[in-house]
Structure 1
């Protein structure tokens, strides 16, 4: 009797095993069928090294744009053990990152995030519950309906920035940083930034300028390949990476902790209770519901708040530097923009958001500034969470997907004379704005699109229109009155910062 029972048990046990075996075989066959499809075209890789020696590590978008011209809008690149697909067209970026966002919403592993203290930026989190919580907290404050209420402050701060530029032109970048951070610091922490030399602004600048440079797959690859560099003693050659990572972590933690503690310390203040901010509102809600914020919730809230600071500073400050460069290099465009403001608004008052629809040339200038020298030439990289097939090409799970914003902006068919600053390209023969708007691609795609894009766009417009209405921006001159020649230089990373000093400000 026992052998019969054992036999029946064996048959019953084999049923689920057979099921799993059939499923595994099906996946294997599917995988084999997919693997018969070609990878997207790209440069021939070297054994072991791949294409790593062929990529310009400082400005990889230039390499990818060149390869796009040779291989098409979808280019496969291999660097050591990393696989990357570079998307060189808006159409394909929308097809993959928007329409197939379920597959393309993850983030690649960046070996520099944790060592440099930059994992606090939730934009780089994987596509999981922690990211969803951070995104929800962020969206509550910066969704389109909420962003509208920031407009009076954006106009007020833009006018304050102009006064600072006239009074203290040498520290123009500090004035741009103050303006860029003013709205977000108020919305997130209810912190009112001082007009000049605010200590929190200095903390942010100190934390972010060096850190941004390491947040790209190309830069992170070295630390991923040689992780022992973080363990070298300080006296050893090559330990500079460890030392810079330690300093970066200290600065980033200070940037995250100081304003967060400011809110916590002031929440008991009755005058503070009358005001609102993202951090205070969520901490109060958690205290009401739970008695005290859960550690994971407080951590997500701090990440959402810090990400708002980082994103605002990195995009708007860099954008304004590009705008100033364009006005210096193209003075006729500045004159035409000022003429439009004078004719529509007049000289008796300053522009407000109510004038935006009546100033199409100003809108074109803003669009062209976004396009001409994109602040984030490669955006933030995505990663595939499963295998995919697009247009007959196989894209494996775990592939880094980079959308080449620089390549999109340099498409000569779409943007003739793409290297020149030409706002007229966005206006038709009747003086009406066309549908093409770079904000449709410079802020990302799909579920990972920048949730603060409405506030960022409004800040950019308010700063541009206010500067054009009040200032004449021209080349810097030496003591003899001769124009100082210059070559624009950039600090590169996820964001691209213009560093040259080349201009002067005077009242318009």
Structure 2
């Protein structure tokens, strides 16, 4: 392995792969944003096709297929279109909060249900059950298995030894073939089952899938299968990405509230000042709740869930600041390095929402959403809906519940050291905590507004 260090850029050669790591937002914007055409591709991932993840437009290479799926996705989730989802997001956030108070032990499952239900409604017009919905469980199984199996190590092994996928079942080393089959079967169900529901349901015609299926019916027969395949990929990408990203972000938020009770109390005081105990926060209150937005920004920054971003690849040679970046190089935006820059974020390891509030009590111009959702042409197209979902969840949770360290049978706080998953996506593993209602009248409000 060869490594060259140069300030905000790091060059690494791993076997035959050239990798460029970007460590500053300024350089990331200069390359990924301002030269977006050059950096819009994705590197070859040997596990993508065998493990059934070729459906994901997040990993597919730059080209006509990706542009078509992206255009479909953008039409539904662009900023102005996403506004119509807000009443549903508030309703789902309140449903989640009620479940958390009623059944706090399974908080991760409630986060997953919330995350999936928002996307299931917007994409397929499918109303998920409050708990243990079969389609939610389907996406949870498919995504969890896929992420666990599609590791960089396996991708490297398959790139070097592709014959492993052809080994007979009795042969040593054939486990990767069996794992690929399991992952493929699960992802095929995740892609097809909800799509078939929307295709066969008259009520779903107002959803992303339903609206585009109506448009496809008016196209030439030769184009229909191409358009339907692109729609299916865009829909399943939204489904999987929403579950993983929103659920992981809410796990980070919960962990922060356990460890930083002062931030929780300040956020609750701001909500009480704006809404009192008579009602719950809604999106129209957002401008009056700058500290809640600061909590959201700090949640994105403190423990970024995709610490190295989703890797880009160059479509042509490039030169930046005198350094040659070859065609086909893997380019990674080091979100972790940006978010932990001590010059920009003093005491970066601490959760401090006030770092995003100026002396006048207003939000600063620094918003981590500008880099945690990616940059350039591969920036997350669902970021506006994702941001709104997380805000509605955080605001509702802070208004209705207290979050703290769990206590043992003797009433002593249970201290713990957080553990995190590894891989492309990173989030806290489940941890002990206490979740309880702040006020009984707000629980009644939750129940009646679901």
TM-score class, shorter: over 0.9
Q: CA deviation at 1:114?
A: 0.6
C-alpha change, 1:293 and 1:187, in structure 2 (3 Å) is farther
Distance 2:6 2:160 in 1: 28
Q: Which residue in the other structure is 2:374 paired with?
A: 444
Q: Are residues 1:203 and 2:138 paired? A: yes
How do 1:454-465 and structure 2 match up within 5 A? Answer: 454-465=384-395
Structure 2 SS opposite 1:123: coil
Q: CA deviation at 1:471?
A: 0.3
Distance 1:450 1:425 in 2: 25
Q: CA deviation at 1:333?
A: 0.9
> Does the CA-based 8 Å contact 2:79-2:384 persist in structure 1?
yes
C-alpha change, 1:390 and 1:71, in structure 2 (3 Å) is closer
Distance 1:355 1:292 in 2: 49
How do 1:358-369 and structure 2 match up within 5 A? Answer: 358-369=288-299
Q: Which residue in the other structure is 2:35 paired with?
A: 100
Q: Are residues 1:259 and 2:194 paired? A: yes
- Structure 1: which 5+ runs fail to align? 1-44, 52-66
Q: CA RMSD in A?
A: 1.6
Q: CA deviation at 1:480?
A: 2.5
Of the structure 1 ranges 488-497 and 442-451, higher mean CA displacement relative to structure 2 is found in 488-497
Aligned residues: 438
Q: Which residue in the other structure is 2:17 paired with?
A: 82
C-alpha change, 1:214 and 1:232, in structure 2 (3 Å) is same
Q: CA deviation at 1:265?
A: 2.0
Q: Are residues 1:346 and 2:281 paired? A: no
> Does the CA-based 8 Å contact 1:213-1:492 persist in structure 2?
no
> Does the CA-based 8 Å contact 1:110-1:215 persist in structure 2?
no
C-alpha change, 1:182 and 1:138, in structure 2 (3 Å) is same
How do 1:207-356 and structure 2 match up within 5 A? Answer: 207-213=142-148, 220-267=155-202, 272=203, 275-290=205-220, 294-356=224-286
Distance 1:479 1:161 in 2: 28
Q: Which residue in the other structure is 1:491 paired with?
A: 421
Distance 1:372 1:452 in 2: 21
Q: After superposition, what is the alpha-carbon deviation per residue over 1:30-51, rounded to whole angstroms, capped at 9, x for unaligned?
A: xxxxxxxxxxxxxxx3xxxx46
Q: Are residues 1:425 and 2:355 paired? A: yes
Q: CA deviation at 1:197?
A: 0.8
Q: CA deviation at 1:501?
A: 2.1
C-alpha change, 1:100 and 1:111, in structure 2 (3 Å) is same
Structure 1 SS opposite 2:11: strand
Q: Which residue in the other structure is 2:320 paired with?
A: 390
Q: Are residues 1:191 and 2:121 paired? A: no
- Structure 2: which 5+ runs fail to align? 439-450
Distance 2:14 2:38 in 1: 22
Query: Once superposed, which parts of structure 1, at least 4 consecutive aligned residues long, lie more than 6 Å away?
Result: none
> Does the CA-based 8 Å contact 1:214-1:493 persist in structure 2?
no
> Does the CA-based 8 Å contact 2:108-2:430 persist in structure 1?
no
How do 1:154-165 and structure 2 match up within 5 A? Answer: 154-165=89-100
Q: After superposition, what is the alpha-carbon deviation per residue over 1:300-346, rounded to whole angstroms, capped at 9, x for unaligned?
A: 11100000011111110000000000000011111111111111221
Q: 1:169 aligns with which of 87, 92, 104?
A: 104
